[in-house]
Amino acid sequence: MYKIVFFDVDGTLVSEIDRSIPLSTIEAIEKLIEKGIKVVVATGRPHNLCEEFKSMGIDTFISANGALVKCKDNVIYKSTLSTETVRELSAFAELKGHGMSFFTELLTMNGMGSEDERVMKALKETLSLTQYPEKMSALPEEVYCICLYADENEAQKFQDRFPELWFERFHGYVMNVLEETKVSKSTAIKQVLDYLNICKSEAIAFGDGGNDIDMLEYVGLGIAMGNGAEQLKQKADFVTKKASEGGIAYALKKFGVI
């Protein structure tokens, strides 16, 4: 019996076509909650861009690709970057003219790349944003995640300058920048399961992107969206319909969860 379901957001809960939430998805989540099955959002978005899902009855959020986990108002896990790393990366990105985003509970950027079509396209595809986020006025005290906007050739100069850091690409023009403490959705899921005293075999996860692979592999039932990346589909236990075609409700009914 499944007791908890983790959902990625963009391309999973939210349609890959128009960024709306399909009615069948809303109804499926309502049924899960009615049955006492825990629903958790697990996203690369910063926490403040998860607000729309609270109205659906969801109260537990894994944000910043696993670096911040909140259940209601309780922080049950967080992983922050060192002040030195944030400062040096920010200075280097500004020097080289590269866009960089900083995830606290909010989302700010360094002001670079606002006129770059590649940056704006990436913001839309990864965060459903159509406007460049607010420029930070000062470096935040706690940063859970940094995203660098760069292609492979552009990113190489950052990798050469900061060989001690991890650069993980999850989009054609965006990379997570991590320190030795490696964050991931699966790490955060473990924290949620421990907090709620639920076994991973009792968990389901839905996703569509490369940063969802570890999440789908970790839980008892990993489901890839029909619009998902091929690499993810190969690792999933089941490939459902596209998000825009009601893939979430379809899979939950197929496995008798709702």
Residues designated catalytic: 8
Length reported for the chain? 258
Dihedral (CA of 202, 7, 206, 42) sign:
negative
What span, in angstroms and rounded, lies between the C-alpha atoms of 89 and 14? 32
What span, in angstroms and rounded, lies between the C-alpha atoms of 246 and 112? 37
Residue with tokens 């896990």: 77
Edge-to-edge strand list for the sheet holding 145-149: 107-109, 100-103, 145-149, 174-178, 166-171
What span, in angstroms and rounded, lies between the C-alpha atoms of 54 and 107? 18
What are the phi and psi torsion angles at 43 (to 5°)? -140, 160
What span, in angstroms and rounded, lies between the C-alpha atoms of 258 and 252? 6
